[in-house]
Amino acid sequence: MLVCLLLGSVRQFSAQAGSGNGPQNPPGTARFADMAARATAAREASRLPEAITLYKDAVNLDPKWEEGWWFLGSLLYDTDQYAAARETLARVVDLDPKAYPAWGLLGLCEFETGDYGASLGHIQRALEAGSGTQGQMEGVLRYHEAVLLTRAGRFEDALQKYAWFAHRGIQNPEMIASLGLAALRTPSTPAAIPASERELYNSAGRAAYLSLSGDFQNARTALEELVARFPAAHYVHYFYGSFFTATDPATALDEFRRELKLTPSSGAANAMIAWILLQRGDAGGALPYAETAAKYEPNSSMASYVLGRSLAEKGNLQAGIVQLEHAEQSDPSNLDTHVTLATAYSRAGRIEDARRERLRSLELWNQDDAAARQ
């Protein structure tokens, strides 16, 4: 299994998550009570094969014994029997849909068996319950969530998840390589990185970690070293340009154009060029880049946003609104999209829609302002 990043083993977590040393609602037979007690004793003595056998016998006697299914599933996970653990933990969440630790461990089993879509959904379900329900497993779940988002091509979302670790000063070599995959927009997992490319992703991951940590001076140095060492690697120039987007858009624009020479089909680089040109008031110049971005990444909220804004500012309001609405659906918390939609609706005479978007923009602005003050 992947390395547990933070605070101990899954076995320790499993012991904490259990509600006691025996069945809460034993079926009243001496045989079941004896079996459950023996299973508990074997587990506490770390006699794992014996404990697994006894828990299997006990849950066969009482299929509604949730705690027994939980400990059986966690022991199977601990002994790398992921397929069997997955089936067992599915029984736990069937019995109790609010068993959030079981959802999390189920997601980890699915990760190990290659069912990545189900894994992401179940890990996120566990995390949505809040950190208080996860204890020392929170970091393990958050890490796997970020890896799965990267593998699914949701690179910006993944980088936001890695920020949780950077803000806490948490890192290890595997996580740095994983972060490098997200920074260089590579839909893969750290285990699949070829040995010949390991240093590329390690270098990108270190630069991304420094940036997420707020250490921008050292991040810039690390990025300059990355570009110097790997000038022909895909998305290195995109990554470098992204660092300068807010502070030095001219440098960012040059780097995004360099990226397009290496990766002409990069929807992300085309979208960022369009965005910078829109910020300069050049909707005409932005439009072909925005169209290319949407062509290569039709599900990207950023591509839809720059295309919608370019069209609207060029006078094609209806087509622009369609794209902006698509961007809003893809990323409903993006303030810029709501502000731009409000303007487009107003110009199109859709007064109520414009009013709704302005109110939503104000809500988001207040939320961002409150978060910044914390």
Q: Where are the alpha helices (DSSP H) in the chain?
A: 10-17, 30-44, 48-61, 66-78, 82-95, 100-112, 116-128, 138-151, 155-166, 173-183, 198-213, 216-229, 236-244, 249-262, 267-279, 283-296, 301-313, 317-330, 335-347, 351-373
Q: Would you say residue 46 has pLDDT above 70?
A: yes
Check pLDDT > 60 for residue 36: yes
Angle at 58 between CA 53 and CA 63, to 5 degrees: 125
Confidence band (pLDDT; 50, 70, 90) for 12? very low
Instruction: Give the residue-averaged pLDDT of 314-326.
Output: 97
**Dist. CA 51–CA 46, nearest whole Å:** 8
In which band, very low, low, confident or very high, does the pLDDT at 332 lie, cut at 50, 70 and 90? very high
Query: For residues 190 and 192, what is the distance between their CA atoms, to the nearest angstrom?
Result: 5
Give the model's confidence band at 129: pLDDT under 50 very low, under 70 low, under 90 confident, else very high.
confident
The pLDDT value recorded for residue 371 is: 60
Q: Which residue has the higher pLDDT, 136 or 322?
A: 322
Asked whether the predicted pLDDT for residue 252 surpasses 70, the reply is yes
For the segment 197-246, what is each residue's pLDDT rounded down to a tens digit? 999 999 999 999 999 999 999 999 999 999 999 999 999 999 999 999 99
According to CATH, what is the number of the domain 285-374?
1.25.40.10
Residue 19 has pLDDT above 80, yes or no: no
Supply the mean pLDDT for the chain: 91
Give the pLDDT score at 344.
97
Cα–Cα dist 223/211, whole Å:
10
Residues 6+ apart with CB under 8 A from 98: 129
Confidence band of 336 (pLDDT split at 50, 70, 90): very high
Task: For the domain covering 10-112, report its CATH number.
Answer: 1.25.40.10
Q: Domain-by-domain residue ranges, the chain?
A: 10-112, 198-264, 285-374
- pLDDT tens-digit series, residues 139-169: 999 999 999 999 999 999 999 999 999 999 9
Say which CATH topology domain 198-264 has.
Answer: 1.25.40
Mean pLDDT of 285-313: 97
pLDDT mean over 321-333: 95
The domains spanning 10-112 and 285-374 adopt the same CATH topology: yes
pLDDT category of residue 374 using cuts at 50, 70 and 90: low
